[in-house]
């Protein structure tokens, strides 16, 4: 089904059918093997992540979004084929690199290098960093790269130069 058909109702119908099929195959829902239950649970999680991706405007690659949430390769390939009409192999899914938190922090610090002494609001820094508001606020409060000018306004600093001038 294309992603235009993806809704909470269609998701629930598909999952109910999958669980009923597995229950009939193994006798009842308590006899479903652990591996099969894991696959069904992973499939359900993937569909919910895809639903969030759709609700947020279908921005970016859905395979990357699924990988960000730790959905395994086989489930990602299956869900994308069924719901997004994307033919992608497990190997291609495995090659998708997910940006790690440390990488985001590093790119945020790199961004500040050529913006010395410029002032930004907390909201603007949240947009640049790509983290939640509380995460960015805690980071800039603890970071020597930022100095608070007033509530909600921050100045980008060079910690090395600040240390040198303090001597």
Whether this model's pTM surpasses 0.75: no
Alpha-carbon span 48 to 7, nearest angstrom:
9
Residue 107, domain CATH: 1.10.10.10
Q: Where are the alpha helices (DSSP H) in the chain?
A: 8-26, 34-55, 62-68, 73-83, 90-94, 101-112, 122-129, 133-142, 159-166
pLDDT digits (tens, 9 = 90+) for 61-97: 888 888 888 888 889 888 888 888 888 777 777 777 7
> Closest Cα partner for 53 from 6, 103, 10?
6
Domain around 7: 3-94
pLDDT tens string 125-167: 999 988 899 999 999 999 999 999 999 999 999 888 888 886 5
Pick the more confident residue, 45 or 3: 45
Number of domains present in the structure of the chain: 2
Shared-domain flag, residues 27 and 74? yes
In sequence order, the 6+-apart residues with CB closer than 8 A to the CB of 68 are 98
Let me know whether 90 and 9 are in one domain.
Answer: yes
Of the three residues 57, 77, 94, the one that is the final residue of a domain is 94
CA–CA separation, 127 and 145 (whole Å): 17
Note whether 40 and 113 are same-domain residues.
Answer: no
Token readout for 40 is: 């069904």
pLDDT tens sequence across 25-62 = 999 888 899 999 999 999 999 999 999 888 888 888 88
- Paired strand residues for 77: none
Q: Which of 113, 15, 46, 112 is nearest to 54 (CA)?
A: 46
User: What's the whole-number average pLDDT of the chain?
Assistant: 87
Q: Which of 69, 94, 119 is the last residue of a domain?
A: 94
Residue 103 and residue 130: Cα distance in Å, rounded? Answer: 11
**Closest to 131 (Cα-Cα) out of 109, 111, 108:** 108
Is the separation of the CB atoms in 108 and 128 below 8 Å?
yes
- C-alpha–C-alpha distance, residues 42 and 10, integer Å: 17
| Token pair in block for residue 68 | 């960000």
Cβ neighbourhood burial of 139 (10 Å; 0-12, 13-18, 19+): middle
């Amino acid at each position: 089904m294309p992603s235009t058909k993806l809704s909470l109702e269609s998701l629930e119908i598909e999952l109910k059918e999958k669980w009923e099929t597995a229950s009939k195959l193994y006798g009842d829902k308590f006899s479903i093997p652990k591996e099969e239950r894991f696959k069904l649970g992973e499939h359900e999680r993937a569909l919910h992540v895809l639903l969030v991706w759709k609700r947020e405007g279908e921005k970016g690659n859905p395979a990357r979004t699924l990988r960000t949430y730790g959905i395994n390769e086989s489930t990602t390939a299956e869900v994308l084929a069924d719901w997004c009409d994307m033919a992608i192999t497990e190997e291609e899914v495995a090659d998708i690199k997910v940006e790690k938190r440390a990488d985001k922090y590093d790119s945020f610090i790199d961004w500040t290098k050529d913006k010395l002494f410029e002032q930004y609001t907390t909201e603007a820094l949240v947009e640049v960093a790509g983290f939640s508001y509380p995460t960015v606020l805690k980071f800039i409060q603890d970071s020597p790269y930022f100095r608070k000018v007033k509530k909600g306004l921050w100045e980008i600093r060079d910690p090395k130069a600040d240390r040198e001038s303090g001597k």
